[in-house]
Every structure is written in structure tokens, then in C-alpha cells.
Amino acid sequence: MNILMLAPLPPPSGGIASWTLRFVKYCKKNNIPLRVVNIAIRGKRSSDESAKRNIKDEIARTYQIISDTRKEIRKNRPDVIHFNTSCQPLGVIRDAVCAELIPKDVPIVLHCRCNIEDQLGKNFFSLKAFRFLVKRSKKVIVLNRFSKNYVDKIDMDKAVFIPDFIDEVPDVNYHVIRPEIKEIGYVGHIEEGKGVSLIVKVAKKTPEIHYTLVGAVRDKFSKDMIPPNVSLTGRVTLDKVKQYLSKMDVFLFPSKSEGFSNALLEAMMMGVPVIASDVGANMEMLENKGGIVIHDINADKILLALDKINSDSTRSLMSNWNYKKVVNFYTEEIVMKKYYSLYNLITG
């Protein structure tokens, strides 16, 4: 089966681009024909996440994506096209233009790499473009129940849930459970959208606990905003992330919007108990067994959750449950089989 994938490749590195690299690696290892049209951002934004969108870069990007897609279809007629979209308002319009150019007899799988409603917005043209993409696609891969409900309102037969995967899982759960909670951590972009201000607020109320926030700092924080028991590491390597996770007693994840969080998946793999907001796939991943998922999260609810999991025996059960959940549901081999079952379904 020949697969053409429209997906971003680094730079910049990050969620979808990292997933694409893992997908490519798996296909090479298993001799699966795959070609990728790189849809990554261009210009200053590729090296500076804070840079503003440049219309010339976006026009050049769109032209290149359309041109590369046409060339790939002519040279290597694909059996299926796997279309990744972040559902950003302008991006989804570009995605619809690309989809319109694809021959009608070539099936499309639309992969929504986000919580759809949060990213799509209310723009008439982007909403219309997304509806077109759903109708044009054979199947729509979603990452959580919120996105499935959104797609179901457009077409009840299209949405299928396939999670992201992790390529390397330890043979056993090595996480050490300490008698008391002394170290709480977070991994991801340091920005308001990820609920970092909530973490800071909780940290100020629990000075006896140290908080480590791992990731690139996107929003500006004055010195008086960050209490002395909070450390910002900046961007670090994946190996360093795992080192930080291994020292966390609790992974605190109060994000305001997610699709399927790779940061949360990494924490679960490392056996870290979790307190998370009820957004994206967090509930499906944790099931209130690998941690506590909080609806309408706030600082007081986080403090109550910390009290509930203060016992080392409780956290030990959560730790082991998280590790087993990853082993049984989110490994590379398990998830990749879901993709290929879907390809076979729509091409058979």
C-alpha cells in the first residue's frame, strides 16, 4: 500500500512534527511505502515561536504544499492520502484547497491533531472549509471525545478515535514513590493557555513543595510572579524531560485545551501520578485511575486533589496503573496497527 502523508516535519520540532518522524521511522523499519509532503511553517516562525505570521511566507508555504502534493500524486499514485490538520482557521482553508485538488478516486483520511472546536474558531469560511474536509474524507481521525462529538454533528459515520503513540516504553515501572509529595512538575510550553498561572497560584499556597516547569517559556513572567519554590528549565531534550519526570511525585497538567497530550503520555509512561484538567483526551487517558481529572479546574480544586493523593499507597496504585495503560494501549505497535486497519478498510 502506497501512502502519501501531508504532515509537518522539523523544524520546528514539537507535537505533530515529532509524531511524523516517529511514523516515518516505523514505516522505514517495516518496509512500508510512505512519502511525506512537508506542511511545516516557514520563515521566522520556524525558528522563533513568538514571531508573527508573515503573509508572504504563508503564500509561499501554501503554493509549495499544493505543488508538492500534485507532483507526488502524478509520480507515485497513492492508495491513500493521510491528511494532518491542526484545524487553525487559515490552515483549514488551505487544507480544503489541497483536498479539492486531489483526484476523487483517491481516498483521504483526515487527521485532526487538536481539540477541533477550540482551534477552529467561529469564522464562517473556516467552518465551511472544515465541513468540506469532513465530507471529502473517507474517515476522520480524532484524538478525544470532544472532537468526535464535533465531527458526529457533521457526519455520524466519519469519526474514529486513534490515539498518539509512544515508541519506547521501559520494561518495568521504575518510578519511585516517596512517602510525601515534595516535587510537583509540569512539561509543556510555559504559557497561559497551558494553565501555568494556576500552577504558580498553587505553588504560592504550598511553599513546602518544589515545582519544576519544563519547557520553552512563551509568555513573559516577571520575577515577582514566580515564587522561590518554582523553577523554570526552558527547552530541554527528551532525555532530560525523562530525568525530570523520574523525580516528580505528581505531574500537574491544568491545560485549557488539548488534543491528545504527548506530555501527559510521557508522564504516564514514567509512572507519574497525575492531576489534570478535563480537556482533550485527558479523561480517556487517565480514567480517574492514573490520577485525578478535574472539571472546571481551579487552584482550590487542585489543592483538594493533592490532599486526596497525598498517601504514598494511593500514588503507588496510580503509578502502576499509568504504566500499564501505556503498555496496553499506547505503544507504537498497537497504535500503528490501528492506522493500517483503517487504511485497509477504506481502500478495500
Question: Are the CB atoms for 270 and 238 separated by under 8 Å?
Answer: no
Q: Which residue has the cell 486497519?
A: 341
- pLDDT level of residue 48 (50, 70, 90 thresholds): low
Cell of 50: 513568538
Residue-wise pLDDT for 110-144, tens only, equals 999 999 999 998 999 999 999 999 999 999 999 99
Helix pair 262-269, 312-329: axis angle to 10 deg: 110
The pLDDT of residue 50: 61
Q: How much is the pTM? A: 0.94
User: How open is the CA angle 43-49-55, to the nearest 5 degrees?
Assistant: 40
For the chain, the domains span 3-165+331-347, 183-329
Top pLDDT among 10 and 214 is at 214
CA nearest neighbour of 214 among 238, 237, 186:
186
Same topology between domain 3-165+331-347 and domain 183-329: yes
Residue-wise pLDDT for 245-269, tens only, equals 999 999 999 999 999 999 999 999 9
Per-residue burial over 20-51, b = 16 or more CB atoms within 10 Å of its CB, e = otherwise: bbbbbebbeeeebebebbbbbbbbebbeeeee
Whether residue 47 has pLDDT greater than 80: no
CA nearest neighbour of 194 among 255, 277, 263, 143:
255
CATH 3.40.50.2000 fits 183-329, yes or no: yes
Rg of the chain taking only CA atoms, in angstroms: 21
Strand partners, 78: none
The pLDDT of residue 43: 76
Q: Where are the alpha helices (DSSP H) in 173-290?
A: 196-205, 238-246, 262-269, 282-286
Residue-wise pLDDT for 176-226, tens only, equals 999 999 999 999 999 999 999 999 999 999 999 999 999 999 887 766 789
Helix pair 238-246, 262-269: axis angle to 10 deg: 50
Cell of 106: 483517491
Cell of 257: 485545551
Rounded average pLDDT over 12-38:
91
Average pLDDT, the chain: 94
Question: Are the CB atoms for 183 and 245 separated by under 8 Å?
Answer: no
Looking at the chain, the whole-number percentage of residues with pLDDT higher than 90 is 88
Question: Are the CB atoms for 204 and 232 separated by under 8 Å?
Answer: no
Q: Which CATH number fits domain 3-165+331-347: 3.40.50.720, 3.40.50.2000, 3.20.20.70, 3.90.1300.10?
A: 3.40.50.2000
